[in-house]
Chain A
Amino acid sequence: MGGKQPEPANVSSKSESMATNKASPDLLNSLSFKSLKLKTKQQELLIRVSILGLVYVLAFIARLFSVLRYESMIHEFDPYFNYRTTLFLTEKGFYEFWNWFDSESWYPLGRIIGGTLYPGLMVTAALIYWTLRFLRFFVHIREVCVLTAPFFASNTTVVAYFFGKEIWDTGAGLVAAALIAICPGYISRSVAGSYDNEAVAIFALLLTFYLFVKAVNTGSLAWALGSAFGYFYMVSAWGGYVFIINLVPLYVLVLLITGRYSMRLYVAYNCMYILGMLLAMQIRFVGFQHVQSGEHMGAMGVFLLMQVFYFLDWVKYQLNDTKLFQTFLRITVTSAILVGGIALGVGTASGYISPWTGRFYSLLDPTYAKDHIPIIASVSEHQPTAWSSFMFDYHILLFLFPAGLYFCFKRLSDATIFIVMYGLTSLYFAGVMVRLILVATPAVCLISAIAVSATVKNLTSLLRTKQKVPQTGSMKGAGSSKASSKVLLDQSQPFQKNGAIALLLGVFYLLSRYAIHCTWVTSEAYSSPSIVLAARGAHGNRIIFDDYREAYYWLRQNTPTDAKVMSWWDYGYQITAMGNRTVIVDNNTWNNTHIATVGRAMSSYEDEAYDIMRSLDVNYVLVVFGGVTGYSSDDINKFLWMVRIGGGVFPVIKEPDYLVNGEFRVDKGASPKMLNCLMYKLCYYRFGELVTEYGKPSGYDRARGVEIGNKDIKLEHLEEAYTTSNWIVRIYRVKPPTNRL
């Protein structure tokens, strides 16, 4: 785009010099006028580039709250695994990484890391790291990992600009870039330190969509190829690529149904699908799923349908007889659908095509996971979204979105159809699962940007036409809407101007509220690393609970290097990454039985649990306990999920045994099984001697606000190995068996 800019400049300067030859008296006048005109164009470019540059920087720095407030560190759970693998990749090289069998997790099974992860994020970070090293910037890999997410968020704003430009105009592009730069829905997953797949995946997702829409608009093979590579990057980075491989065919199908089939679409989709599929197969974790799994069959069906359409087009061209063609059409379409249906049926029946996975089902049916896969339902980010979190994450975009949809429908094109479909489907998924708000965010931002841009443009053109009637030509792209406003203007002039000003002020007020809200949300809600907890003290001072790292570092330094640690799966990644010790289960929840075994051990009596732990070679047991600090997301509050997941595989564990009248209690009224299960004992061991709050009896659990029911806990097979300073993490050593007599 930039390359074409000076071209008209040269042309016009030529014409200008010709003009000077003809009329020398006008020289000064024409020169200044012409150069001014040139300047406005260059100025526009300058303004656009500088706005985009500012947005780019803004997107980056808005995500640095956590670094400034805490430190440059990796957040949450999954990012620790990503960090550990990236470290491995940079230390050992790509081939070692690709063939890495990790014996530190899922003991005794182990995990083939290279074949069970999306390597895109790690490879990206490693490439950035190696490039910086090559340029003699000797940064630590941790800094690269921490800043990968903000960096890619910045890149996303650029893609959003081009996408907005493609579907509407440059103004919408700029607004989209600005909106997405600070949208909390996106920031929640891309603050500095949240080194997760989503950090690069949203960039890849939007890039793929943009390139595909561009390909559809131009029919160019090059853009389609670009889109295929974008898809490849997305597949390498995140499992959410399934969304692309279903949305794009759905979009194509809609275009086919609405009679918008064109050669451009044919080129774009075929190239993108075939190449994208072949490239995606290179990722070991994905493998042949594109031809074997139920989730990917839609794309293949649409691909075949596309060929049928092309064939029919060709036949229509050859036949010239409409009646004959109609019959032919009927026969072909019926047989094609029939053949496709049979192939799908045979494939599914023979087991060649795998059925849909649980996660996919749970997306289509929000209640599915609750009944069938408790492990998916147990994750808080897999819960259905509450209305408040929509408001929290989108703020005014929630109102602008329908307005944008209205504008899109008013100016329907291939591109706007795409964005509408993307917006509507992703918004549905966002309603099903909290974490998918992230996927919907770019669409919501783009559609809202259209609304903002179109409204502001209409309003400003209204004001301008009022002031300088002859200079209407200076605004381009406003097009038909401006013409209509002019008509309106003629009808009621004085009223219109004030109204426009008021509305403009209203828009700017709303946008400024949005900016304030986003900053507030980012700083208050999304910039906490969750591994370091901060609280306000009685005198307003900041108290830091760094117990997690205390415990993990203790494990790392003071336990045998081959020690096996059993904990609930949430902490698995952190223990391996920070504690450098082998864990039984971790956040890669690939083996439900193994997790259920741990859940069963935690919910059994100590001697039963001891047998399970012996069979798993467990040396240490780690529990998270918030009773002293009032930290509510601890293992006692997660305990029912352990029971449910354990009970799902081992029917000995029954949920009602742990409840009293359907109520989960830890005080005196708790069920006897609850009061004596391993988890209860490990959390509350010697807690009864402690006075946690002034004026409360000893053994008062601050997280649940009750006095515990079993204060006299004796451990037989385990002993306290370490408890952190605020009791948040407690580690127990499993004693060797006593001598048999």
Chain B
Amino acid sequence: MAARIWILAVVVAVFLSLSAFSSAQDLQIVNAERRIDLSSQIVKAFLTLKVENIGKDPVAEMLLAFPPTQIKHLAMVQALAITGKKKKKTYLPLDVKPSEQPDAPNDAGFFIVSFATPLGPGETVKLEVLYILTHSLEPFPVEITQSESQLVYYHDSAVILSPYHIKQQTTFFKTPSTRVESFTSIEPANRAGKEIKYGPYEDRTPYSYTPVIVHFENNSPFAVVEELVREIEISHWGSLQITENYRLTHGGARHKGVFSRVDYQSRRSISGASSFNALLAVLPPRVNSVYYRDDIGNISTSHLRTGFRKSELEFEPRYPLFGGWKATFIIGYRVPLEDYLFEAPDDRRYLNFTFGCPLVETIVNKLTVKVVLPEGSKDPSAVLPFTVNQDLQVKYSYLDIVGRTVVVLQKDNVVPTHNVPFQVYYTFKPIYMLAEPFMLVSAFFFVFVASLAYVHIDLNIAKK
């Protein structure tokens, strides 16, 4: 009897939770198209959804679901609402937040997309979702020799994981070359050139999941920055000094056996196809005093092109990077202060600079941005479009007495899409600028006074 009551209680609880969830079930996806770009190490997925409210109440938000294998590699999720017809399309960015759903099957992860205006009953909305996955291409074979090219696995589902009913859906995978070793076939699935098409599939129930594996060639540079520390030092004397410490590695299939320079030099096309030896950093315009060095000195293989909109630094590590090889280096440059430092209306100053990593097409596992404020700055606060770990430190630089406040922003799993402006607000009295010159002047003054005194004072004890 007690057991029966217990079961009843559980059933009621489940029912209640489902009813709480039922607003979600008011929605259904009429049409979904997913395009997954596998051509570089960063997997970009574009999801076009047509969502309809089939319930009775207006719905303010919807859920996006991701399998647990993807959720930890997810670098970014963005959503746009599309209104208007073909020619007058307008895109409206929507708010996307990670969320916890306690009854999610198999630890699926969720994001909540809030609509601009609640979706009334019977209304439809067109959404475009972009999400970016890192470290999702698994090299197989794990180790390759210099003459082999790199093959990778990509795991995903042929149908979109979603808490909603999807009436019709298609998924496209775009591979970098036509060489595809294999792919799981879920009818209807076919391959044409660089594209593999799954679907269209009709009427899939919520949380349908059909795992597929695509095994294909990908020789794009797997440049992974394991750790990047960017230090932005503000000098009110007119410049911004940026120092970037990179710890770069080749994240693809590990290199096995010999490295032959003869082959690498003379048969470049087939030798070391997955290796890379040139990198491109996009730096701000008007950049000057650029240097590129490492622990043991300057590295002479770099070229800088400056332009009005951006500068490009093309550089090579000391040696070509094969799978698993590492390189550490430092890039430093200086930009004029007036381009990046502004005065806020409330008498504060703010730095407006780009977050993220200047290297193109790289993944940063751990990014630390340190903004070194001038000595004497107070009340720092940082404003970013996404969440980061924030911290304050103190740094001592030339002729510092009390030290400089450092705003430390730390974020994991950063991709080029994170290269967006952020702001650091602080208050600063310009009189502090004179502290260091004054110290120098007074030091010289005392030296001269001391030497004057020394010349004029007779220190002899014995009289001559």
Query: Which residues of A pack against B, CB within 8 Å?
Result: 2-7, 70-71, 73, 136-138, 532, 544, 546, 549-550, 552-554, 556-558, 578, 686, 689-690, 719-725, 727, 733
Interface pair A549/B455, CB less than 8 Å apart: no
Docked complex Cα distance between A2 and B53 (Å): 96
Interface pair B326/A557, CB less than 8 Å apart: yes
Residue in A3, A7, A558 with the greatest tally of chain B CB atoms within 10 Å: A558
Interface pair A552/B454, CB less than 8 Å apart: no
List of B residues within 8 angstroms of A137 by Cβ: 398-399
Interface flags, B230-274, vs A, CB<8A=1, else 0:
000000000000000000000000000111111001100000000
Interface pair B297/A71, CB less than 8 Å apart: yes
CB nearest to A5 among chain B residues: B455
Docked complex Cα distance between A70 and B319 (Å): 20
Q: List 24 A-B contacts (CB under 8 A).
A: A3-B455, A3-B457, A3-B459, A71-B293, A71-B297, A73-B297, A136-B396, A136-B400, A136-B401, A549-B296, A553-B318, A553-B319, A554-B318, A558-B326, A686-B260, A690-B262, A690-B266, A719-B258, A720-B261, A722-B259, A722-B319, A725-B261, A727-B261, A733-B258
Q: How far is the CB of A610 from chain B (nearest CB, A)?
A: 17
Partner of B398 from A6, A7, A136 at Cβ < 8 Å: A136
Q: How far is the CB of B414 from chain A (nearest CB, A)?
A: 22
Interface pair B400/A546, CB less than 8 Å apart: no
Interface membership of B456, Cβ < 8 A: yes
List of B residues within 8 angstroms of A724 by Cβ: 261, 319
Partner of B259 from A4, A552, A720, A727 at Cβ < 8 Å: A720
Docked complex Cα distance between A74 and B326 (Å): 24
Given contacts A7-B458, A554-B318, whether A71 and B298 have CB atoms under 8 Å apart is: yes
Interface membership of B315, Cβ < 8 A: no
Docked complex Cα distance between A612 and B327 (Å): 32
Interface membership of B299, Cβ < 8 A: yes
Q: How far is the CB of A135 from chain B (nearest CB, A)?
A: 8
Interface pair A546/B299, CB less than 8 Å apart: yes
CB nearest to A45 among chain B residues: B455
CB nearest to A557 among chain B residues: B326
Interface pair B296/A720, CB less than 8 Å apart: no
19 additional contacts (CB under 8 A) given A549-B297, A553-B295, A690-B262: A3-B460, A6-B455, A71-B293, A71-B297, A73-B298, A136-B398, A138-B397, A138-B398, A546-B318, A550-B319, A557-B328, A558-B325, A578-B296, A686-B260, A689-B262, A720-B258, A720-B259, A721-B258, A721-B259
Q: How far is the CB of B183 from chain A (nearest CB, A)?
A: 34
List of B residues within 8 angstroms of A733 by Cβ: 258
Which residues of chain B in 278-325 are interfacial with respect to chain A, using CB atoms and an 8 Å cutoff? Answer: 293-300, 318-319, 324-325
Residue in B295, B296, B318, B400 with the greatest tally of chain A CB atoms within 10 Å: B296
List of B residues within 8 angstroms of A720 by Cβ: 258-261
CB nearest to A723 among chain B residues: B261
List of B residues within 8 angstroms of A689 by Cβ: 262, 266
Interface pair A554/B260, CB less than 8 Å apart: no
List of B residues within 8 angstroms of A136 by Cβ: 396, 398-401
CB nearest to B291 among chain A residues: A71
Which residues of chain B in 386-418 are interfacial with respect to chain A, using CB atoms and an 8 Å cutoff? Answer: 396-401
List of A residues within 8 angstroms of B457 by Cβ: 3
Docked complex Cα distance between A689 and B262 (Å): 8
Given contacts A136-B398, A136-B400, whether A546 and B257 have CB atoms under 8 Å apart is: no
Docked complex Cα distance between A544 and B299 (Å): 10
List of B residues within 8 angstroms of A2 by Cβ: 454-455
Interface pair B258/A553, CB less than 8 Å apart: no
Given contacts A2-B454, A136-B400, A723-B261, whether A553 and B296 have CB atoms under 8 Å apart is: yes
Q: How far is the CB of A237 from chain B (nearest CB, A)?
A: 26
Interface flags, B323-347, vs A, CB<8A=1, else 0:
0111110000000000000000000
CB nearest to A70 among chain B residues: B298
Docked complex Cα distance between A137 and B319 (Å): 34
List of A residues within 8 angstroms of B400 by Cβ: 136
List of A residues within 8 angstroms of B266 by Cβ: 689-690
